[in-house]
């Protein structure tokens, strides 16, 4: 297992937004223990979109959950914005997640009884932001993802692609720089799927660090770097040729 | 790939010089099939012979403008109305390579598959990059190539799964 993530630009010594070093995750213990991840190292820098590809059971979702502090590794180190997650209490970890990490899950988890704007506002309000400001932020970020006209709609009044946009807006609201997406294209058609990746790409180009897990090559292809995960190990990675040309 | 029908389609927008046809052809197809000017003039003169296009006035530099004829329009209509047959593809080197990798002793098939997956993924990344900011026609051309590269990726993932389930010795 080697680290295939040399600093792309040694001139800027900025720490990556997310860093995994020799991360191992075991499920169960003793002889029946299963290695979900076996010593994975991966950096995601600001401005970078990284895709993780692999068959089901390869450890993709485990990797994403660990990077976002939703799960803890059996060994190895994980840093988000330079903070070592292993050193944080449960409450500290929760606070870091809310402040720094946005998630888009396959089953969007939008709350059906809240409008799009209210769904987007929720994490900010939980963070103590006043309602009026949270609403303003929600409108702005919904506009950013092309869902400004959906603000007052409820999830069941939206198409799959529209719900996806709202979920992405919720992931982006606030100052978060790390965006994690687990199969964000779900079951949408390729046109909507491309739009979703275009949005994530735009966020990366605007300075976010984006880590996307997908089993679909066409979506992985939007990334600067595609990491192939197999049986809990990174087996190869493909980097796009001209990173500076975007 | 039928250059002649592509040129006929461009001529339905009005008479064009050869160099204009070349530029418009490349713009429509996202420069996927670069044409040299010689190909354009050869095709035009054959189409003139077949009555599909008619030459107009020569300009002072000796350049000829071409217009589509009624016969040319009929040929173009026929082309658009006819589905493209699944052409006999030339022998696919990748398929042969994988078959041979499995047959020949001492070859790390998984490595061959992974090397191809990474290479095809880089191609997919380049095509996807080119798609940003592409016009509608170019975008659809690039999408077609993306779907083809994607099919190869899926096939390679399938090969990997099949090989993992039944190791080389058993095949």
Q: Enumerate the domain spans of chain B.
A: 3-86, 90-170
Contact between B122 and A217 using a beta-carbon 8 Å cutoff? no
Q: Which of A220-224, B72-76, B119-123 has the highest mean pLDDT?
A: A220-224
Confidence of residue A236 (pLDDT cuts 50, 70, 90): confident
Q: How does pLDDT run across A114-166, given as a tens digit for each residue?
A: 999 999 998 888 888 899 999 999 999 899 888 899 999 999 999 888 888 89
Q: What is the mean pLDDT of residues A49-70?
A: 91
Confidence of residue A210 (pLDDT cuts 50, 70, 90): very high
Size of interface A-B (CB pairs under 8 A): 61
Of A201, A240, A245, the CB nearest to B122: A240
Q: pLDDT value at position B33?
A: 75
Contact between B129 and A198 using a beta-carbon 8 Å cutoff? no
> Per CATH, is B3-86 categorized as 3.40.50.1000?
no
Interface test with A, best of B111, B124, B159 (most A CBs within 10 A): B124
- Do residues A227 and A237 touch, judged by C-beta distance below 8 A? yes
**Cβ neighbours around A235 below 10 Å, total:** 18
For the cut 70, the answer to whether the pLDDT of residue A246 exceeds it is: no
In the DSSP assignment, the letter for residue A222 is T
Rounded distance, CA A159 to CA A186, Å? 13
Q: pLDDT value at position A12?
A: 46
Q: For tokens 């090397």, what's the residue?
A: B115
A22: helix, strand or coil:
strand
Contact between B117 and A218 using a beta-carbon 8 Å cutoff? no
- Do residues A205 and A240 touch, judged by C-beta distance below 8 A? no
Say whether residue A55 is in contact with chain B using an 8 A CB cutoff. Answer: yes
Of B132, B146, B160, the CB nearest to A218: B146
Contact between B125 and A201 using a beta-carbon 8 Å cutoff? no
Q: pTM of the prediction?
A: 0.77
Q: How does pLDDT run across A186-209, given as a tens digit for each residue?
A: 777 888 888 889 989 988 998 999
Rounded distance, CA A69 to CA A78, Å? 8
Closest chain A CA to residue B124: A221
Q: How does pLDDT run across A83-122, given as a tens digit for each residue?
A: 999 999 999 998 888 889 988 877 667 899 999 999 999 8
- Neighboring chain B residues of A237 at a CB cutoff of 8 Å: 118
Q: pLDDT value at position B97?
A: 78
Contact between A240 and B125 using a beta-carbon 8 Å cutoff? yes
User: Higher model confidence: residue A176 or residue A53?
Assistant: A53
Of B120, B122, B128, the CB nearest to A222: B128
ipTM comes to: 0.73
């Amino acid at each position: 297992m080697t680290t295939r993530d040399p600093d792309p630009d040694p001139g800027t010594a900025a720490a990556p937004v997310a860093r995994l070093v020799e991360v191992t995750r075991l499920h169960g213990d003793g002889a029946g223990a299963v290695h979900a991840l076996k010593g994975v190292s991966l950096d995601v820098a600001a401005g970078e979109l990284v895709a993780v590809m692999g068959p089901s059971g390869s450890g993709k979702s485990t990797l994403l959950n660990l990077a976002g502090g939703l799960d803890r590794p059996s060994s190895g180190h994980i840093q988000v914005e330079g903070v070592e997650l292993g050193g944080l209490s449960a409450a500290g970890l929760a606070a870091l997640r809310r402040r720094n990490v946005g998630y888009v899950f396959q089953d969007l988890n939008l709350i059906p009884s809240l409008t799009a704007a209210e769904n987007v506002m929720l994490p900010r309000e939980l963070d103590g932001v006043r309602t009026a400001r949270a609403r303003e932020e929600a409108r702005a970020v919904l506009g950013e993802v092309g869902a400004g006209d959906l603000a007052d709609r409820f999830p069941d009044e939206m198409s799959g692609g529209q719900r996806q946009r709202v979920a992405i807006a919720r992931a982006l609201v606030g100052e978060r720089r790390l965006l994690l997406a687990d199969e964000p294209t779900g079951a949408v058609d390729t046109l909507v799927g491309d739009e979703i990746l275009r949005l994530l790409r735009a966020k990366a180009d605007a300075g976010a660090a984006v880590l996307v897990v997908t089993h679909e090559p066409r979506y992985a292809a939007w990334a600067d770097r595609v990491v192939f995960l197999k049986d809990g190990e990174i087996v190869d990675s493909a980097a796009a040729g001209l990173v500076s040309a975007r | 790939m039928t250059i002649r029908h592509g040129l006929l389609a461009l001529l339905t927008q009005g008479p064009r010089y050869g160099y204009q046809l070349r530029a418009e052809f490349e713009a429509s197809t996202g420069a996927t099939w670069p044409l040299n000017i010689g190909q354009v003039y050869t095709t035009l003169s054959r189409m003139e012979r077949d009555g599909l296009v008619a030459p107009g006035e020569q300009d002072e530099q000796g350049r000829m403008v071409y217009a589509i004829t009624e016969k040319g329009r009929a040929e173009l209509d026929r082309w658009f109305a006819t589905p493209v047959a699944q052409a006999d593809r030339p022998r696919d080197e990748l398929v042969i390579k994988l078959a041979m990798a499995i047959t020949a002793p001492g070859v790390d098939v998984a490595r061959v598959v992974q090397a191809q997956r990474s290479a095809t993924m880089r191609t997919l990344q380049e095509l996807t990059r080119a798609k940003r900011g592409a016009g509608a026609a170019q975008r659809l051309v690039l999408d077609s190539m993306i779907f083809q590269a994607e099919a190869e990726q899926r096939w390679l993932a399938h090969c990997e799964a099949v090989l993992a389930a039944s190791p080389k010795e058993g095949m």
